[in-house]
Chain A
């Protein structure tokens, strides 16, 4: 079972990283989302994958599944959700203001320009 999870995590990381290196903002954001899914799966895997074991103390159970790992994943998901929402809006606003969604735009130094304000 861990092998399957490891392959899934590797695929997610690989795809996510590939998308991160692409030129357009939306691909970057989707790539980062895939990376965070891979990370969450990794956290799940290190908590020792069990079958049918309860996370909370119950009479008669001898094997428990790790509930801390689930808490970590939940935290990571919520944080990731918030930041992805922000990032999507940032990408869209940047597209509106800069008229391009190319991530590799040259950051030209505004050498002699008048500063605002």
Chain B
């Protein structure tokens, strides 16, 4: 099947970036307008794609019209559609914030084309159906992220850039090792075909496949910042400007979580040593992340530790490999992307207003910026899991799945972590918004609230449509629980 709609989320950012670089390299205004228009068009195309995917069919596009498993295929199922849409919405919010926050130097240094390339890599990672192609898209998005992280060359950015780049290079090398091992034992790199072949392995080949699975867990775990591979995140995310930090915080770790879900649900079918490791790692991640957040006073570092903890929740849902668990994980991803990006943007506004990065030096923002305080309160409570906000529904699904699967220890850890998350959010609220202001804060232009409002209202919409959202999550989970569906769609009806 030729399904051109599937390839547009990759082509559109690419064409936009190339046009910006070739034709409008020195024209700031055109670059800004073009970026926003491009991301809006991207959202439109992805909505169209989601409408086509609603029926449960997987849309497949064969690159170069080569048949799978010899050629590379792009496959879009409901999970991919959801992730694409979330990435674009977050990108829109981060971009619009950046329009007001970026300094001229960064814009001159090709911020907007780099942003589009990052988006292209992210979309490619969500759409690909081939393991090596996933590696290539990972590299695209990583290189764009290296450039965005260090853009502007502040000493701090360069200092954190080195461990970030080194760690990601190491994990890319490991990714290649795992892909090579899987190719060696099965003879294919197509995800659907791997799923078919790995299920039929035994003996020494099966052991090698297990080895590759554990290596892949390490690779995607580094990207997703799980325990014990998360140490790059709290150092790295406070360094770049807010718009960059937002897109990193919102989407980049979720690419890792998505890869874990895709590879372990589809390729390894939830079996094996690596798949059984996900749940204990999730518990450790939840706890260590939130314990790290409690002691922090730097606003963005605190939020970064919370990212780690919340990734643990997502993995808890995914690690159970039951439909309800996976659906809970997917809903959690949706909720968290919106809320975390919103929180990062709130921290950005706070930093602009006060000129400080430390919550102990802020205060009284509720008097000066009441709307901001409301947004933070909603987002923070949603993160902690307060009903009736989206966080509550996401946590409820994941915890219910945990009870169904009799994983009481992990559920207990998740409840403790939720309580500590609430404590941490209250501490931020108290320090930044509630108490007396130590001095006057500079007024901010009204427009800067727009992206934050967008994200937080999306989170509210999520809680309003919790019912249909639940059905969507279950549809995605049911698709993922049927590897046969992918095998038939990608490899053709006669494949068995």
Give A contacts to B, CB under 8 Å. Answer: 20, 25, 28, 32, 35-36, 38-40, 42-43, 46-47, 68-69, 72, 75-76, 79, 82-83, 86-87, 90-91, 93-94, 97-98, 103, 105, 107, 109-117
Contact = CB atoms under 8 A, between A and B. Distances in A.
Contacts of B158: 90, 93-94, 97-98
Interface of B: 101, 103, 132, 136, 139, 142-143, 146-147, 150, 153-156, 158-163, 165-166, 169-170, 172-173, 176-177, 179-181, 183-184, 235, 238, 241, 297-298, 301, 351-352, 355-358, 361
A83 B173 contact: no
Contact of A117 (B103, B146, B160): B103
B180 A83 contact: no
A98 B357 contact: no
Contact of A20 (B139, B166, B177, B297): B166
A114 B355 CA distance: 6
B166 A94 contact: no
A83 B139 contact: yes
Contact of A42 (B103, B142, B150, B180): B180
A20 B361 CA distance: 38
Contact of A28 (B101, B156, B162, B184): B162
B139 A79 contact: yes
A70 B394 CA distance: 45
Contact of A86 (B147, B156, B173, B241): B147
A12 to B, nearest CB: 11
A82 B172 CA distance: 13
What are the nearest 10 A-B pairs in CB distance? A46-B184, A94-B158, A97-B155, A43-B180, A39-B176, A107-B235, A39-B173, A46-B180, A111-B358, A32-B169
B176 A76 contact: yes
B165 A90 contact: yes
Contact of A83 (B160, B165, B241): B165
Contact of A111 (B147, B153, B172, B357): B357
Given A97-B153, A111-B357, A25 B162 contact: yes
Contacts of A97: 153-155, 158
Contact of A93 (B143, B153, B183): B153
A111 B298 contact: yes
8 contacts: A28-B166, A43-B183, A75-B136, A76-B176, A83-B169, A91-B162, A97-B158, A107-B159
A90 B176 contact: no
B219 to A, nearest CB: 12
A86 B235 CA distance: 21
B143 A39 contact: no
Contacts of B177: 39, 42
A110 B162 contact: no
Contact of B165 (A46, A79, A87, A117): A87
B162 to A, nearest CB: 6
Contacts of A25: 162
Nearest to B185: A46
B181 A112 contact: no
Contacts of B165: 83, 86-87, 90
Given A69-B183, A94-B155, A117-B352, 13 more contacts: A36-B173, A39-B173, A79-B136, A83-B146, A86-B165, A90-B146, A90-B150, A94-B162, A98-B159, A103-B163, A107-B159, A107-B160, A111-B298
